[in-house]
Amino acid sequence: MKKLSVVVPCYNEEATVEAFYNAAVPVFETMREGRYAFEIIFVNDGSRDRTGELLAALAAKDKRVKVLTFSRNFGQQAAILCGFRHCTGDCAVELDVDLQDPVEVVEKMLVKWEEGYDVVHGRRLARKGESVFKKVTAKAYYKFLHGITGIGIPCNTGDFKLLDRRVVDVICALPEHGKYLRGLESWVGFKQTFVDFDRNERVAGETKYTLKKMIRLAQNGIVSNSSWPLTLSFKCGIILGVLSLACFITFIVLVCCGIALPFAAWLFPALALCTSMLCIFNAVSNLYLSKVYEEVKNRPEYIVAEKINFEEDVK
Ligand code: UDP
Ligand code: MG
């Protein structure tokens, strides 16, 4: 019997944990005609309300429920990663506890997994219960991220995805800190596909993503996946350099034609040239910085998905 692991991060979710359990368990029990065993791993991300107490009660009555409790609030990404590190299923899915991601969609994801896909992204069509600000900024941000990373981080997806065991293992083995899972789940490659769904409103309670947390996550998404911001200095340097040279040439031509220019006029191209040189020197440092950053992240240079006719010990 194949096993599905469900990883559920929870932060101050006393209003939703029981509703989640009651809604999710019957769905998982009957999914694919009951052909799957499952475990639900709740990761209590340092909740200060009754979440821990409620989770302990669920675990006491149902051995398929497992609970990991953080010493403080480390954030949703850390909670999901911790769940992945402890899961034992043949595949794993992340689900928010507030039932915004419909549990029934997991069955559609399993169908794709059975077809041979390793990563099944949940793609949001409608996003009920989200503010206009969140919708607009999320759309702009993911478009930007998609553009600067070049690894195809898909728009309108979040952490709601199904991952094959081998993808979970690859991600958990990555040594970098502050993992941006949404990016890594695309970066790993393998066979990827989508399942579309309408995102519900929260079943109860308020969002736990403050603006500060959203900005931190967005910033991490950019810094973890792209060195593009480090190349801006070089581009600025070149543009300023070309501008100042064009200005100098124009001024020299004007002087040759007998048009006198005040001394102050020469200050603009001179300043632009100095700034351009500073930008270019900075770009050289950035080049080394991005190299060091890649080394520090220490991601594998490739991931082998399959080997044919090789001895076991050949890497
Ligand atoms: N969450 C978490 N740690 C945090 C913030 C959120 O574990 O620091 C959990 C939260 O309990 C929920 C999921 O992450 O299960 C998504 O959070 P939320 O619903 O607040 O985010 P939104 O859907 O509003 O983006
Ligand atoms: Mg939510």
More confident residue, 260 or 160: 160
Cβ(42)–Cβ(68) under 8 Å?
yes
Cα separation, 64 vs 92, whole angstroms: 14
Q: Is 225 in the pocket of ligand 1 (CB under 6 A)?
A: no
Give the torsion through C-alpha atoms of 68, 194, 119, 224, to 10 deg: -80
Q: Is 97 in the pocket of ligand 1 (CB under 6 A)?
A: yes
Q: Is the pLDDT of residue 58 over 90?
A: yes
Instruction: Looking at the CA of 202, name the nearest ligand.
Output: 2
Instruction: Looking at the CA of 213, name the nearest ligand.
Output: 1
Concatenating the DSSP letter of every residue in 250-298 gives HHHHHHHTT----HHHHHHHHHHHHHHHHHHHHHHHHHHHHHHHHHHHT
Q: How far is the CA of 77 from the centre of ligand 2 (A)?
A: 14
Residue (of 20, 37, 195, 190) closest to 106 by Cα position = 195
Q: Is the pLDDT of residue 25 over 70?
A: yes
Mean pLDDT of the 82-94 span: 97
Whether domain 2-226+300-308 has CATH 3.40.50.1000: the reply is: no
Number of helices (H) and strands (E) in the chain: give both, helices first. Answer: 10, 7
Q: How do residues 59-78 score in pLDDT, each as one tens digit?
A: 999 999 999 999 999 999 99
Q: Is 79 in the pocket of ligand 1 (CB under 6 A)?
A: yes
Averaging pLDDT over each range in 92-101, 152-161, 200-209, 215-224, which range is the top one?
A: 92-101
Which pLDDT score is estimated for 313?
61
Residue 187, φ and ψ in degrees, nearest 5 = -60, -35
Q: How far is the CA of 218 from the centre of ligand 1 (A)?
A: 15
Q: Is the pLDDT of residue 267 over 80?
A: yes
Q: Is 73 in the pocket of ligand 1 (CB under 6 A)?
A: yes
Which pLDDT score is estimated for 175?
92
Cα separation, 161 vs 157, whole angstroms: 8
Q: Is 76 in the pocket of ligand 1 (CB under 6 A)?
A: yes
Cα separation, 89 vs 109, whole angstroms: 15
Q: Which ligand 1 atom minimizes the distance to the CA of 213?
A: 8
Q: Is 45 in the pocket of ligand 1 (CB under 6 A)?
A: yes
Mean pLDDT of the 12-29 span: 96
Which pLDDT score is estimated for 307?
87
More confident residue, 69 or 306: 69
- Average per-residue pLDDT for the chain: 92
Which of the listed residues 77, 135, 209 should we mutate to test ligand 1's pocket, taking the one with most ligand atoms within 8 A of CB?
Answer: 209
Q: Is 44 in the pocket of ligand 1 (CB under 6 A)?
A: no
Q: How far is the CA of 80 from the centre of ligand 2 (A)?
A: 14
